[in-house]
Amino acid sequence: MLTDKAGKGVDQATPDPEQSAHHPLRTGGNLLQLISPDGERISHPEFDLWIKDIGDEQLCALYEDMTVIRRIDTEATALQRQGELALWPPLLGQEASQIGSSRSLRDDDFVFPSYRESGVAYIRGAQLSEIAKVWRGNALYSWDPQRINMATPQIIIGSQSLHATGYAMGVQLDGASTAVLAYFGDGATSEGDVNEAMVFAASFQAPVVFFCQNNHWAISEPVRLQSHIQLADRPTGFGIPSMRVDGNDVLAVMAATRIALDRARKGGGPTFIEAVTYRMGPHTTADDPTRYRDANELEDWAAKDPILRLRRLLEAKGLLTGELEAQVKAKADAVGAELRTSCTTMPAPEPLDVFNHVYSTPNPWIERQKDHYSRYLNSFNETVEEGAL
């Protein structure tokens, strides 16, 4: 049953997730692809079953989603360059991976992101001010995780995979049908945390999906340096089935994610998805990718742009009307303006706010520190008053 226009929360009971997750396209050189870079719809009967509900209206909604989160990204990047944000981790080029996967989730599913999933946060219902405030330096956290069923951004590479697995094991013990999805990049697959998470997930058949956005660059190191095999081949050593999909193809990502989530909910255990995409911008706004990346490589991947790909499909189907383009532009402009306003008018935190939310209950150790710091701050006012006399 569709719970929104883009297919979020779809219950697919007909296809067999076990069979799909073990399909020959799950690993190896071939990528699961349902839309070519030229915008041609590629038929694949088995995987088409998982997106059979995505008609013209849903395709247009996915196009709007991807365009809007790109606008969030470009606006936030501009805000950082203008000194309004301290740092920003761009998602440019990874829109299909984030929209295809997040629009496959149910409301009761729980997400554990890295620091780059601002597009996922937007889809899950985070306010734009909540997305911005951590990167502005106004808070130590973003949104309320329980409100949108999404943990706050994890800066430590790969740690969220352990959190996701632990949460999934708890879900399993509760007997709930909730699935858990953990996002991380290709660099994180070399971290011990991710491998330990897969050990536990496989051992206990936890309902968790490991979603790797292979954007080819772990900061300044290419993926080919850290792994001489395809990343989708790694989890098979833990007994976890995997799928390797074109991460710039929103329909392929959606089909793979739905398969994995359905498998998790039905007790089939964990699945690993390698979404092969490309980071078209810097690792963060503190990075200069021209120091380590060939411009020709960027040009090659620009031709595979995920939004351009879907746009070409819409054009071929006669759906990209002037009305649709105006609607999408208006939505992107409104979101961009809201992000800018919420950022530039955001009140600065009070000095003592740093002591809030450290513990869930009053703590004498924290209260003592707060008292000492308060008296220290007050001493400056006393000094000014004495000098004035």
- The reply to whether 22 belongs to the active site is no
CA-nearest of 148, 187, 183 to 163 is 183
Using the structure block, give the residue that is written with the tokens 């981790």: 89
> Distance between CA atoms of 35 and 106, rounded to whole angstroms?
24
Which of 292, 357, 368, 372 is flagged as catalytic? 292
Dihedral of CA atoms 139, 96, 46, 61 in degrees, nearest 10, equals 90
> Distance between CA atoms of 75 and 336, rounded to whole angstroms?
6
Instruction: Output helix, strand, coil percentages for the chain, rounded to the nearest 5.
Output: 55, 10, 40
Which of 258, 279, 309, 340 is flagged as catalytic? 279
> Which CA distances in Å does 150 have to 106, 139, 143, 164?
12, 17, 8, 10
> Distance between CA atoms of 282 and 215, rounded to whole angstroms?
11
CA-nearest of 125, 121, 209 to 164 is 209
In this structure, the number of other CB atoms found within 10 A of the CB of residue 112 comes to 29
> Which CA distances in Å does 253 have to 31, 51, 101, 306?
11, 10, 6, 11
Please compute Rg for the chain using Cα positions: 22
Q: Using an 8 Å Cβ cutoff, are 88 and 97 in contact?
A: no
Which of 283, 309, 311, 312 is flagged as catalytic? 283
CA end-to-end span of the chain, whole Å?
A: 74
Residues designated catalytic: 279, 283, 292
